[in-house]
Amino acid sequence: MELLATVGFGIGFFALIMASVALHEIGHMVPAKLFGVRVPQYFVGFGPRIWSTVRGETEYGLKWFPLGGYVQLLGMYPPRRDGSFRRTRLSEFADDARAYEWTQISEEDVANQRLFYQKKTWQKLIVMAGGPTMNLLIAFVLMFAVTAGYGVYRPQTTIAAVQACVIAEPGRTSCLPSDPPSPAASAGLKVGDQVVEFNGVAVTSYAQLSSLIRANLDGSAQIVVERDGQRVALTPVHTVLNSVTDQLDPSRKLQAGWLGIGPTQTLVRGGPADVVSDMWTLTQQSVVALVQFPVKVWHVVAGMVTGQPRDISDPISILGASQVAGQVVASGQIDTRAKVASFASLLASVNLFLALFNFVPLPPLDGGHIAGALYEGLRRGLAKLFRRRDPGYFDTAKLLPIAYGVGGLLLISGIALILADIVSPVRLF
């Protein structure tokens, strides 16, 4: 029964991701139509058609491989200016792609300014940023619903656990007689104490306390707690250098100050400001993950080949995210409201990552087109400022070799992660 629930809810989560992709493409299509760009096609999925219908001048439909979607904006490649560059294999490749697109373009499209390249820079930016912005909005709405309606477990300055000793060996969890006492134990910290001051600094949140401890390295620490309604100054100690988890990269360990405490976790409801703060933290973590993406995919593939278990911080495919969502909902370890909140939070995280991923300034991603529009606007603006000849539209067709290279890398990475998610899936429970 649990397996069936995992599969069923995993499929449901996958369908919601595809719905997010569909909304992403709507984020491009709506402003494009408002600015007069002709939009011949809007499809979810790739490959052969399953179903389609024509409404107005646009064909809407579904295709067999649900691994994304696209909206066709006519006139992405401007006509090549005669003598604008030397004929090379790359230029011929660009001209072939340009010629194929222009088979769908009529003289009326050109005369009526219906082509994407003819639009103003600010209009191009709105159209190309519309997709990832839609994902950002989805992420915000979902996170706000969870934060305001259910709450988020947040660490507090009240102590829930005091580690008895300093364990130097990785992997060991129990203390040996030879292990030195932890700084928290030496200071006399007790479960239920609320830390109110660290080295003379008033403590207002656990995040602040954690940062103070990490930055203290192996320096002296004077801790003041509130115990049974009284402020108590504890025995001065030294924090120790220990291996701790990087706050922006959970897969990485670093040497920082360590005290040996565990905070209480309290379910706290919040508002829009809390959601923005959480999204900013997730954004920082996602940017780090994006920078390391090729290396991490390689490690996942190597681990799959050698039979190593997957780490919870490993990158996963859409299939992997659906598996995790299915595990969460099918688990008997949390109640129904917590399952719904976790399901929504995971979908929000996927949408936030999709937005940031698409803002990467490389073609064929939206960020590549945004970068091209900014470059075009900058050079045309400078030419106007210095009264030089208008350099014309930026020829995005010349970036096609890069686009195919990036697209090929993403395809290979996606297939590798899907295989890893089948052979060695990430398991939460």
Catalytic annotation, residues? 25
CB 421 within 8 A of CB 317: yes
> For residue 99, what are the contacts with CB-CB under 8 A and spacing of at least 6?
none
CB 319 within 8 A of CB 418: yes
Measured at the CA of 118, the angle between CA 95 and CA 108, to 5 degrees, comes to 85
Q: What are phi and psi of 105, to 5 degrees?
A: -100, 130
**CA–CA separation, 260 and 164 (whole Å):** 8
- Note if the bond before 79 is cis, omega within 30 degrees: no
CB atoms within 10 A of CB 296: 20
**CA–CA separation, 31 and 366 (whole Å):** 14
